[in-house]
Amino acid sequence: MVKVSIKELSMRYEKKYILEDLVLDIHNGELLVILGESGCGKSTLLKIIAGIIEPEKGTIFFNDADITHQTPQKRNIGYVPQAQVLFPHMSVEQNIKFGLEARKLPKDDVAAKLKWIADLIQIEDLLGRYPREISGGQKQRVALARSMAIEPDVLLLDEPLSSIDASGRESLALSIRRIQKQTETTAIYVTHSSEEARLISDRVAIMYDGKIQQIGKIIDIDLHPMNYLVAKIMGTSNVWPVLYVNENNQGTNISVPIGDVQLQRKLNKKITGIRINPSSFVITDSSVKPDKKIVFQGIVKSIMESDEKTLRVIVDVKDTDSEYIKVDCMKDDLKKELKANTELTLVVDSKEVVLF
Residues that bind other proteins (CB under 8 A): 11-14, 44, 47, 50-54, 56, 69, 71-79, 81-83, 85, 87-89, 98-99, 102-103, 143, 146-147, 150
Angle between helical axes of 92-102 and 136-149 (0-180°, round to 10): 20
Cβ proximity to other proteins: between 103 and 115 the closer is 103
Toward other proteins, which CB reaches closer, 97 or 169?
97
Closest CB 84 distance from other proteins, rounded Å: 10
Q: How far is the CB of 264 from other proteins (least distance, A)?
A: 52
Nearer to other proteins by C-beta: 5 or 82? 82
Helix (H, G, I), strand (E, B) or coil at 9: strand
CB of 233 to other proteins, least distance (A): 24
| Distance separating alpha carbons of residues 324 and 311, to the nearest angstrom | 16
Question: H helices of 122-209, where?
Answer: 136-149, 166-183, 194-200
- Give the SS3 label for residue 32: strand
Cβ-based nearer residue to other proteins, 147 or 252: 147
Q: How far is the CB of 123 from other proteins (least distance, A)?
A: 17
Contact (CB, 8 A) for 332 and 309: yes
Q: Which residues contact 64 (CB under 8 A, 6 or more apart)?
A: none
Taking the least distance from each CB to other proteins, the nearer of 154 and 212 is 154
Determine contact, residues 152/185, Cβ cutoff 8 Å: yes
The order of strands in the sheet holding 310-317 is 282-284, 343-349, 293-305, 310-317, 324-330
Name the minimum Å distance from CB 149 to other proteins: 9
